[in-house]
A and B are shown apart, each in its own frame.
Chain A
Amino acid sequence: MPLQSPIYSQALSVYYLSEQAVTVEFGNEISDVLLHRISSFNERLQQNPFPGLQTTVPAYTTLSVFYDALTVLQATHMPGRSCFEKVQHYLLNLGEKNLSQTSSETPPINIPVCYGDDFGPDIADLASQHNLTTQQVINLHTQAIYTVYMIGFVPGFAYMGGLNEQLATPRKATPRQTIPFGSVGIADKQTGIYPLDTPGGWQIIGRTPLKLFDATRSQPSLLKAGNLVNFKSISPQEFDMYSA
């Protein structure tokens, strides 16, 4: 069989999450290929919404779809005996169609970070664990291009993959009570930025003056799944200028 639609050559599965949500499962491991499949599927669903669709939640290997059950039930053109069946059928059908490549490569979002000192209390420890200097850690962290896999944990928190293997470090044994918002951290092979003051166990290497989450913006979260990100080292003076 010719590979007409390589993106959907693997079967999707749709499982029940609640009376108002289902989850589409695309695979079982973190990869850029899967991320791309999920993002494309999500985009297509947004362009072709079924009646009652409310919102979607992309994650590492899944896309969850939230809807208003009563509106779905009234959609007589959607086959199925229950809301679940109607939505399941719709999503599987959507997945089988050939994908029109709509997602264009957008340049990475540049995030300024002041590394070290009070901004990044764990950077020295992390550097010595890996036999690196602090500057080498900064260089390695700013050279990579990261991919936002999902937003979770607290509003606007982006889980990003693409960290240089040399920097991979486990979470701290004891989480800190409070990590100030803007803190940039490392946990295993991921990097992330705390959008709010929260407890947390990631290794904190720096801090950005950008607001990762702002309820007054039309798109409150600065980052979304699928975005590319890179970091730029700034001085404490520059940090203050951004914050002013």
Chain B
Amino acid sequence: MRIRITKPGVLSTVQDMGRRLHLSQAVPVSGAMDTLSTRIANIAVGNAHDEAVIEFTYAAAEFVTETDILIAYAGDGATLKSGEVTIPTERPVFIPQGSVVRLVNNPAGSRTYLAIACGWDVPDVMSSKSTYTTAGIGGHEGRALQAGDILQNTKKCSPTTDDLLLKLQGTGINYPKWNITRQALLPMDKKSIRVVPANEFTWFDGCSIYDFLSSPYTLNMRSNRMGYHLDGVPIQRLMHKELLSTAVTPGTIQITGSGTPVLLMADCQTTGGYPRIAQVAAVDLPLCGQLKPGDIIIFKETSRQEAEMLYIEREEHLQKLALAVRSHF
């Protein structure tokens, strides 16, 4: 299965669940900004949940199918269309050779994840297929996709994928009635982000902590895959001692010298020296991956125990979903 990129869009990269084994060498995790959508797209075509996907940022991208393909997509950045046909999300979709597939704007979010049956075939670099553009490694030639790039799937298909393909292939776009409802795995309020107090939480002034946990913060234009700069009430320090650089991780919220919170995302550096006020609950980090400049969020405090429990529940739920897709075919 093969596609050719005809319009690259704002930022389209190959990503997977990230690169975690070389953090000690300061190699960032990278990986999908919205790992939940990534996994749902993979599960829907019978892939392992951590296969490589294409992460599209916003819309305006376009590709042509050079062969018949079986795909699934998830995420809120765009809706896929071929001619006048809207391709539904969160389920396997067969698209015949020679189709032009466009990404059209979806105001709900910013990123869309395209999985292909058996996963995109890009080399493993340090145990991951994720693109990290700063060092020019991973993904498709270590860079964002360009017009003319050709991407194809691997040959390592699961029996589920083979069965799905057998059932759906034909002369036109075809898909089953079922889908994996991502919404069911997410809270109603997608702009309310749960956070666990971080190690330097008590370094901040009480009123500032109250502000941080109750007032709105807006993503400013400097936000990217490394992190989001948040405009809002500045956070004051109570303790003015220096923090020696120590490990940070996607979801960490640091407070800069000027009191601005910075929410670290997938491409964040592995260590940092700004004090950390909170850590976004892992289950809510995919929500953050869908944010865009101008979006307003509110942080809500949760406990370490609660965050871990929600995380385990989510993982178990995803395992059940994968099993359900497998047993269906």
The stretch among B79-87, B109-117, B245-253 that forms the contact with chain A is B245-253
Evaluate whether A23 and B246 lie within 8 angstroms (CB atoms) in the complex, with A56-B24, A66-B20, A215-B126 already known: yes
Residue of A30, A57, A156 near B271 (CB, 8 A) is: A57
CA distance A54 to B29 in the complex (A): 12
Check A30–B244 contact: CB distance below 8 A.
yes
Residue of B245, B247, B309 near A17 (CB, 8 A) is: B247
Evaluate whether A152 and B270 lie within 8 angstroms (CB atoms) in the complex, with A18-B249, A70-B315, A220-B27 already known: yes
**Which positions 252-291 of chain B face chain A at CB distance < 8 Å?**
252, 269-271, 279, 281-282
Check A150–B245 contact: CB distance below 8 A.
yes
A20 part of interface (Cβ distance < 8 Å)? yes
Q: How far is the CB of B26 from chain A (nearest CB, A)?
A: 5
Task: Note all chain A residues with C-beta closer than 8 A to B251.
Answer: 18
Check A54–B311 contact: CB distance below 8 A.
no
Check A215–B25 contact: CB distance below 8 A.
no
**Which positions 121-157 of chain A face chain B at CB distance < 8 Å?**
150-157
Main SS at interface, chain A: mixed
Evaluate whether A82 and B305 lie within 8 angstroms (CB atoms) in the complex, with A15-B199, A215-B135 already known: yes
Q: How large is the interface on B (under 10, 10 to 19, 20 to 34, 35 or more residues)?
A: 35 or more
Check B312–A220 contact: CB distance below 8 A.
no
Evaluate whether A154 and B26 lie within 8 angstroms (CB atoms) in the complex, with A17-B279, A19-B308 already known: yes
Check A196–B135 contact: CB distance below 8 A.
yes
Check B246–A59 contact: CB distance below 8 A.
yes
Q: How far is the CB of B31 from chain A (nearest CB, A)?
A: 13
Residue of B26, B247, B270 near A23 (CB, 8 A) is: B247
Residue of A20, A61, A196 near B244 (CB, 8 A) is: A61
Check B24–A55 contact: CB distance below 8 A.
yes
**Which positions 7-31 of chain B face chain A at CB distance < 8 Å?**
20-28
The 6 closest A-B pairs by CB, nearest first: A64-B247, A152-B271, A221-B25, A60-B244, A57-B247, A19-B282
Name B's A-contacting residues (CB within 8 A).
20-28, 125-126, 134-135, 137-138, 196, 198-199, 244-247, 249, 251-252, 269-271, 279, 281-282, 304-305, 307-309, 311-312, 315
